[in-house]
């Protein structure tokens, strides 16, 4: 029986500590191939490269015996998955895992996330996919307490199968190396970013802007990802890429377009 083939990608770049940790965790489950951006691509969402060339090359990051095949890609996280599936892999992966992102992709953050967009791209192609994020933006974040939860979720996805048209958005609380309290299935919390632009001037006098903002939670529910994370649990949100607002169809059908 063949080991499962696991495609690993991210949006923080191929040398990011979160990716390197996820590779080690996944090597305990199956055969790993890595296709990841050659530079940070955070906040790219589901952007793809259509007006420029894409470059990819095989790279060696870890020289240990048994290190997986790795490819860097000049494009976005979604590009990485597209290129992997169409050009670089000799068979369809059994699962795609993206991350581990340095920072939260819970709640509204999923909209902007390159980490989750890579997973969603795989889901569009009918491949089980999971995006992992740790609530620690530091490059030196401690991922040592993440492994057990990440491996358990991936193993369950491989064993049980994923719901059709669904990708998992997994966020892990910052525990500084300790294991989280457990894993909770959640809904996405309703929230927004109260954004501001810091107006500045360059040394040459040219005006420019730097985006800042504050996260605004609009949801008091105890079944949300934000609540689970605040209590020290891993949040798992089933996410769909069908953006149809099915609940609105009946109301829209009552509109009169003929007058």
Mean pLDDT by 10 residues, the chain (259 residues): 93 96 97 96 91 94 85 97 97 97 96 96 97 96 95 98 96 94 97 92 94 91 97 97 95 89
The tokens for 131 are: 């995006």
Looking at residue 32, its pLDDT comes to 97
Looking at residue 82, its pLDDT comes to 98
- 42 annotated as belonging to a binding site for a ligand: yes
- 223 annotated as belonging to a binding site for a ligand: no
Contact indicator for 29, 154 with CB cutoff of 8 Å? yes
Distance CA 107, CA 105 (A): 7
E strand or H helix at 226: helix 225-230
Residue 131 class from Cβ within 10 Å (0-12 exposed, 13-18 middle, 19+ buried)? buried
Looking at residue 66, its pLDDT comes to 77
Looking at residue 227, its pLDDT comes to 98
- 198 annotated as belonging to a binding site for a ligand: no
Polymer length of the chain: 259
- 79 annotated as belonging to a binding site for a ligand: no
The tokens for 216 are: 């605004």
Looking at residue 221, its pLDDT comes to 94
pTM beyond 0.85: yes
Best CATH choice for the domain 5-189+221-253 from the list 3.40.1210.10, 3.60.15.10, 1.10.357.10, 3.40.50.150: 3.40.1210.10
């Amino acid at each position: 029986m063949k080991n499962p083939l696991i495609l690993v990608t991210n949006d923080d770049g191929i040398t990011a500590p979160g990716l390197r940790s996820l590779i080690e965790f996944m090597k305990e489950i199956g055969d790993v191939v890595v296709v990841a951006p050659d530079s940070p691509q955070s906040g790219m969402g589901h952007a793809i490269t259509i007006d420029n060339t894409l470059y990819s090359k095989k790279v060696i990051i870890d020289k240990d015996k048994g290190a997986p095949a790795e490819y860097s890609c000049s494009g976005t996280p979604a590009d990485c998955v597209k290129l992997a599936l169409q050009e670089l892999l000799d068979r369809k992966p059994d699962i795609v895992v993206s991350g581990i992102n340095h920072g939260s992709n819970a709640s509204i953050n999923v909209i902007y996330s390159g980490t989750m967009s890579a997973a969603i791209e795989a889901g569009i192609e009918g491949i089980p996919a999971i995006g992992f994020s740790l609530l620690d933006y530091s490059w030196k974040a401690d991922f040592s307490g993440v492994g057990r939860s990440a491996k358990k979720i991936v193993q369950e996805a491989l064993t049980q199968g994923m719901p059709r048209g669904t990708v998992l958005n997994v966020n892990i609380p910052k525990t500084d190396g300790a294991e989280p309290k457990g894993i909770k299935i959640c809904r996405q919390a309703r929230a927004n970013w109260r954004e501001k632009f810091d107006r500045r001037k360059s040394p040459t006098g040219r005006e420019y802007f730097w985006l800042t903002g504050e996260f605004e939670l609009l949801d008091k529910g105890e079944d949300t990802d934000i609540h689970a994370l605040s209590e020290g649990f891993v949040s798992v949100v089933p996410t769909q890429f069908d953006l149809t607002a099915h609940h609105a169809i009946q109301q829209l059908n009552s509109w009169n377009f003929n007058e």
